[in-house]
Amino acid sequence: MNKEPDFFSNITPTSGGLIIIALGVLLLIGAIRRWKWVFDMTGERNKGFNFLLFLYDLFGDKGLRVGVIITSVIIILGGIGIMCFYKR
């Protein structure tokens, strides 16, 4: 039986890093522009520690916004790290 080729195994680290950076930039722009879907916190909230809900409880909407900005910067830095340190 032949195994189907996996789509994600053909992505180079550079392409994967660029995709992750693009998602982080989209999240960052959404946090700066206050897009509603970025801050929508629906769902169960009692499942362990949640960094963004903790900031929201402490500082309100501004704390949530700062938390999303911090998270998006971490995602962008992770994408840059993937591009720089994973070479084929």
Domain boundaries, the chain: 12-36+49-85
State the average pLDDT for the chain.
85
Taking only the tens place, the pLDDT of each residue in 59-68 is 988 988 999 9
- Residue 1 pLDDT: 60
Output the pLDDT for position 53. Answer: 81
**C-alpha–C-alpha distance, residues 13 and 18, integer Å:** 8
pLDDT tens-digit readout, 3-34: 777 777 777 888 889 999 999 999 999 999 98
In which region does residue 49 sit, left (phi positive, over 0), alpha (psi from -120 to 50) or beta (all else)?
A: beta
What distance in Å separates the CA atoms of residue 23 and residue 20, rounded to the nearest whole number? 5
For the chain, state the CA radius of gyration. Answer: 17
pLDDT of residue 46 exceeding 70: no
**What is the structure's pLDDT at 43?**
64
